Structure 1
Amino acid sequence: MSLQVRRAETTEQIAYVRALFLDYLHFIEAYLGQTLSFQGTEREFADFPQTYDALWLAEVNGHQVGAVGLKPFDECTGELKRLWVTPEGRGHGVGKALCQACIEGAREQGYVRLLLDTDRGLTHANSVYERLGFVDIDRYYDNPMDSRFMALDLTSKH
């Protein structure tokens, strides 16, 4: 098995990330039984990838199986968004590798903190975040769902 995580920079790579993010959006909205439009998804995908500082794409044996994005939150803080691994990509450490790439990218951007929100029922994703050092925090944006909010201090290495 060959896992590769790279920053998505070419038009083709960005198109793959966009498609994976849309797959994620369809999955999560079906899973939750409600839309994520409160996150500004219509604008996000109309202007894609303008709302992101960076995007990463994961490949297993040459097949695109996952992606994650880094969005600016404020001048000191980034947000890990849209982590998604396709069913065929799961079980190979893809989610962890994507998170690690995003964490390093956030450090390179000069962020001192990285935020994320997730659903408590996504137990595998939650355990990846916990193992990487994310801790629970108070709600950091207006979100009508019962989400779990987490943060990672980027000034210390985990």
Structure 2
Amino acid sequence: MSQISIINAKTKDDIAAVKAVFIDYMAFIEDYLGQSLCFQGTDAEFATFPDIYDALLLVRLDGEAVAACGIKPFKPGICELKRLYCRPAGRGHRLGQRLTERAISQAKTLGYSQMFLDTDAGLTHANKIYEALGFKDIDRYYDNPMGCSRYMALDLKD
């Protein structure tokens, strides 16, 4: 049986592991979309990593870093779920759902009342997770030149 741990990345090594997963995510999503995400300020994000995040979550499977996501402040009371990605080596263990659930819990602990995210409608597995956890479609909440994005929000108040 596989050993799975989901942690708040705090150490230098764990933060570096999250950054590596995020870089893999960037390569995956830019290849999938056929365009760069530089409009999101990714150069500055990675140059000062992890400064823009309130929390980083890391999943290890049998000791190997396989998935991660970040919680980023958006505006008072609202955070964004960012860069959620599971490497191929971690797939098949429901890590995307488990990681999203942990991020929701962490955002509540941090005092947020809402969580926003953007995704691509074609990423059906991710969309199913978000829908199952109660995320609802919302209007575009930031300037995004890509027309294929789907914007969602979750009310974090119990």
Query: Shorter-chain TM-score: what band?
Result: over 0.9
Judge which range, 92-101 or 41-50, deviates more: 92-101
1:2-151, aligned counterparts within 5 Å? 2-145=3-146, 146-151=148-153
Pairwise CA RMSD = 0.7
Between the two proteins, the alignment pairs up a number of residues equal to 156
CA distance in 2: counterparts of 1:56 and 1:132, whole angstroms:
18
The residue matched to 1:111 in structure 2 has which SS? coil
* Structure 2 SS opposite 1:15: helix
The unaligned stretches of length 5 or more in structure 2 are none
Task: Give a deviation string over 1:90-137, Cα, whole Å, max 9, x none.
Answer: 110111111111111110111100000000111001001111110100
Q: For residues 91 and 126 of structure 1, what CA distance do their matches in structure 2 show?
A: 16
Moved over 4 A (4+): none
TM-score normalised by the chain length of structure 1:
0.97
Q: Which runs of 5+ in 1 are unaligned?
A: none
Distance 1:64 1:18 in 2: 11
Alpha-carbon distance between aligned partners in 2 of 1:3 and 1:148, rounded to the nearest angstrom: 30
Query: Normalised by the size of structure 2, how large is the TM-score?
Result: 0.97
User: CA separation in 2, counterparts of 1:85 and 1:32?
Assistant: 17
